[in-house]
């Protein structure tokens, strides 16, 4: 099930020089900056009410975002949808012939499970599917 847009991600060479624009002039709140080791990126989570933008910076030379920046320069990287039932959703997309980058979820920012759908399948935009992990009662 798709709940709606979770965030829009912008690929940037460096997060820090852009924070005054986003948190000052544009009035977003910096929720956190997180290193996502699996994707080799640093992510700044910016909130304005319920609206979320993520600035994504490569954290290694072999980061996919580094390749993106070299080919296209900074700008819109992907749109992320908040979903429930990521595994069955991926199976149904694959069964429908959609080109997937990830056939199984992997770790994303803030402990979420994520998978990407190839831009060739979505009209040219990289699509991230993101699912919150259930909270474990202690």
Specify burial of residue 72 (Cβ count, 10 A radius: 0-12, 13-18, 19+). exposed
Ordered structural domains, the chain, with CATH: 2-131 (3.10.180.10)
Please give the model's pTM, rounded to 2 decimal places. Answer: 0.87
Report pLDDT digits (tens) over 20-53.
Answer: 999 999 999 999 999 998 889 999 999 999 999 9
Task: Count other C-beta atoms under 10 Å from residue 28's C-beta.
Answer: 21
């Amino acid at each position: 099930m798709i709940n709606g847009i979770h965030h829009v991600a912008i690929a940037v060479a460096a997060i820090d020089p852009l924070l005054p624009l986003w948190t000052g002039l544009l009035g977003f709140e910096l929720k956190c900056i997180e290193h996502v080791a699996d994707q080799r990126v640093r992510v700044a989570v910016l909130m304005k009410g319920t609206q979320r933008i993520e600035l994504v910076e490569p954290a290694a030379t072999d980061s996919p975002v580094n390749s993106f920046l070299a080919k296209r320069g900074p700008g819109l990287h992907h749109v992320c949808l908040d979903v429930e039932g990521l595994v069955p959703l991926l199976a149904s997309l694959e069964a429908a012939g959609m080109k997937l980058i990830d056939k199984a979820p992997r770790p994303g920012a803030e402990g979420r499970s994520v998978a990407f759908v190839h831009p060739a399948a979505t009209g040219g935009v990289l699509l991230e599917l993101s699912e919150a992990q259930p909270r474990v009662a202690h």
